[in-house]
Structure 1
Amino acid sequence: MACAICGGTTWDGAAAYIWDASQDRGRDHHGKEFAKNPPVSTITPWIGNHRATPTTEAQYPTENQPVGDNPKIVFNGIISNDESLGVHPGEADTSVLPRVLDFSSLVAFRDSLEQKVVGSYAIAAMFQDGEIWLACNYKPIWLRRYRGNIYFSSLRHHFPDGGREAFRFPPYSVGRLSKPSQTLPIRRVTNDNRALVICSSGLDSTAVAAYAISKHEDVLLVHFDYGCAATTKEIHCVWNIAHYLGCSYDVLSIPPTLFGDASKLHGPEDNFAEGIAGAEYAHEWTPARNLIMLSMTVGYAEARKYGVIYLGTNLEESGAYPDNEEQFILDFNNCLYAAVQNGIQVEVRTPLGGLMKHEIVPFGMLHGAPFHLTWSCYRGGDFHCGACGPCFMRKEAFKRNKIKDPVFSHEWDDPFWEGCIDYSHIRSIIEDPSPQTKDPTLE
Structure 2
Amino acid sequence: MAKVVVVVSGGMDSATLLYHILADGHEARAISVDYGQRHVKELDYARQLCEGVGVAHQIADLSAINPIFGNNSLSGRDMEVPEGHYAEESMKQTVVPNRNMLLLSVAIASAAANKFDAVAYGAHSGDHAIYPDCRPEFAEAMDQAARLCDWNPIELWRPFVHMDKGQIAKRGVDLGVPFEKTWTCYKGLERHCGKCGACVERKEAFAAHGLLDPTEYAE
The TM-score with structure 2 as length reference comes to 0.91
Q: Match for residue 121 of structure 2?
A: 311
Q: Aligned-pair distance for 1:260?
A: 4.3
State the partner residue of 1:323: 133
Alignment of 1:193 with 2:11, yes or no, is no
Match of 1:244 in 2: 52
CA contact (8 A) 2:123 2:158 kept: yes
Q: What SS class does the counterpart of residue 215 from structure 2 fall into?
A: helix
Counterpart among 205, 212, 216 of residue 404 in structure 1: 212
2:23 aligns with 214
Structure 1 counterpart SS, 2:19:
helix
TM-score (norm: length of structure 1):
0.46
The structure whose RCO (Cα within 8 Å, separation 6+) is larger is 2
SS across alignment from 1:265: coil
Determine what percentage of the aligned residue pairs are the same residue. Answer: 26
Question: Could you say what secondary structure the match of 2:15 adopts?
Answer: helix
Q: Which amino acid aligns with 1:214?
A: A
Deviation string 1:172-223 (CA, Å, 9 cap, x unpaired) is: xxxxxxxxxxxxxxxxxxxx53111111111111110110111244211110
Cα 1:212–1:334, aligned 2, differ >3 Å: closer, same or farther? Answer: same
Paired residue total: 216
Q: Which residue of 1 aligns with 2:82?
A: 273
Alignment of 1:235 onto 2:43: yes
Q: Quick one: structure 1 residues 296 and 258, their matched pair in 2 at CA, closer, same or farther if it must change by over 3 Å?
A: farther
Structure 2 gaps, min length 5: none
Structure 1 residues 348, 219: closer, same or farther in 2, change over 3 A?
same
**In proportion to residue count, which structure has more helix?**
2
Contact 2:72/2:79 (<8 A) preserved? no
- How far apart are the structure 1 equivalents of 2:173 and 2:47? 19
Please list, as runs of the form range in 1=range in 2, the aligned pairs for 1:369-384 lying within 5 A after superposition: 369-384=177-192
Q: Could you give the per-residue CA deviations for residues 78-115 of structure 1, whole angstroms, max 9, x where no partner exists? A: xxxxxxxxxxxxxxxxxxxxxxxxxxxxxxxxxxxxxx
Taking the TM superposition and a 5 Å limit, the aligned residue runs for 1:57-72 are none
Corresponding residue for 1:282?
92
Could you say what the CA RMSD is over the residues aligned between the two structures, in angstroms?
1.9
Q: How does 1:37-436 map to 2 (within 5 A)?
A: 193-231=2-40, 233-254=41-62, 255-268=64-77, 271-276=80-85, 278-280=86-88, 281-341=91-151, 344-408=152-216
Q: CA deviation at 1:410?
A: 6.9
Q: Is the 8 A contact 2:87 2:129 kept in 1?
A: no
The change in CA–CA distance for 1:287 and 1:270 in structure 2 (over 3 A counts) is closer
- Structure 1 portions without partners, runs of 5+: 1-191, 412-443
One-letter code aligned to 2:66: T
Which amino acid is 2:215 matched to?
Answer: V
Task: Give the structure with the larger strand fraction.
Answer: 1
**Which secondary structure state, in structure 2, belongs to the residue aligned with residue 252 of structure 1?**
strand
In structure 2, distance between residues paired with 1:359 and 1:264:
27
Question: How far did residue 332 of structure 1 move?
Answer: 1.4
